[in-house]
Amino acid sequence: MDKLRAKIRDIPDFPKPGILFRDITPLVKDPAALRFTIHQLIHPFVGEDITAVAGMEARGFIFGALAAWELGVGFVPLRKPGKLPYNVQTIDYDLEYGSARLEVHLDALGVGDRVLMVDDLLATGGTARASCSLVESLGAEVAACAFVVELDALEGRQALHGRRVHSLLHY
């Protein structure tokens, strides 16, 4: 994982003073690092009965779509409001600095689906928790959550209420 960690760039004071941003763009720019990341991200779930991967906007789309392709299942985008053209299910949730909303097509998932949730980062866990609830509101089961980076000090794993969580890098 040291090779992978070397591809995460630290940006101090972004997006505001006091924040250390973990930038994944060097990782996704490097084909070998990206391939390694996806393989490690899905490794615990290969051979399991995963029927779909859901990715959280926006960086979750990068890792989620590639994970779905590798697992041979479909990809379901969880979008910000107004981005999906069909009937949607929505969830509103609180963030540490305000509130947000995610949407998914009503017919994206249903009873019998086992979904792997994927995003680049687990911080406070608010977006991940809301995403799991959104998927479950369609009748699907969340099999697990997978993240490239987890910020341990923010305790986002606790917000996921004992769900199965797999993270590649811990800071």
Active site residues: 59, 96
Rounded Cα distance, 46 and 95, in Å: 32
Rounded Cα distance, 110 and 113, in Å: 6
What one-letter code names the amino acid at 135?
V
Q: Terminal CA-to-CA distance of the chain, rounded, Å?
A: 12
The CA distance from 152 to 161, in Å, is 15
**Number of residues in the chain:** 171
| d(C-alpha 168, C-alpha 149), whole Å | 6
Pairing of strands 9-12, 20-23: antiparallel
